[in-house]
Amino acid sequence: MASQIDPLDLEAIDRRSKATSGVRWEAVLHNGMPLVRVTFRDGTHDYMRLSRDSQPASAADFEFVAAARRDIERLVGALRSGEPVSDEDLDAIEVRSRGASPGPWRPFLRSDGGLGGTNVIWVSDSDREADLYLWLGRNLAPDADFEFVGTARQDIPRLLAAFDR
């Protein structure tokens, strides 16, 4: 494996991953709805739902977001340790990444001025693409979750490119 990612960039990607809500994200069906179960350090959990404006996010965007944290932790860990990642695992991550709505995704955070007073992720540079919103429980997800998801769409392809295949 030949890392093409600057160590400071790798650290920033890792830091964004670790700043997200909970300690683990996983895809689940809850009452027939695809959600991301966010498990916290104390073993409790809450559910994150994804919407594109007022509609649910696509299945491919949902799969990408639900796996992004685990995928980034795996890729960053392997790049740091030199541990190999199987072609099967790399292919599965790549399929999720390619299936998600085209990028770039850009987070706009209320704390940075936001857009319209709320957190949002612009999906693509096209005005035809509906914005992405993350809801944790009944509220918008924290800034760190928006920042992580919005940058993961660019980070994962960059991390994958660092592996010789």
Give me the residue spans of the domains in the chain.
Answer: 7-161
Task: List the Cα angle 128/131/145 in 5-degree steps.
Answer: 150
Taking a C-beta distance cutoff of 8 angstroms, is the pair 112, 15 a contact? no
**Could you give the CA distance from residue 165 to residue 70 in angstroms, rounded to a whole number?**
21
**Could you give the CA distance from residue 101 to residue 41 in angstroms, rounded to a whole number?**
31
CB within 8 A of 63, min separation 6: which ones? 27, 96, 99, 100
- Percent share of the chain, pLDDT over 90: 76
Residue 164 clears pLDDT 90, i.e. is over it: no
Mean residue pLDDT across the chain: 91
Q: How confident is the model at residue 2 (pLDDT cuts 50, 70, 90)?
A: very low
Find tokens 């001025």 and name the residue: 113
Residue 120 clears pLDDT 60, i.e. is over it: yes
CA-based nearest residue to 109, from 66, 156, 141: 141
Handedness of CA 113, 115, 118, 119 (dihedral sign): negative
Report which residue type is found at 108: F
Q: What's residue 1's pLDDT?
A: 44
* Calculated CA dihedral for residues 49, 53, 56, 62, nearest 10 degrees: -60
pLDDT in tens, 6-43: 999 999 999 999 999 999 999 999 888 899 999 999 99
Q: What's residue 111's pLDDT?
A: 78
Report which residue type is found at 61: D
Q: What's residue 57's pLDDT?
A: 93
Mean of pLDDT values over 92-110:
93
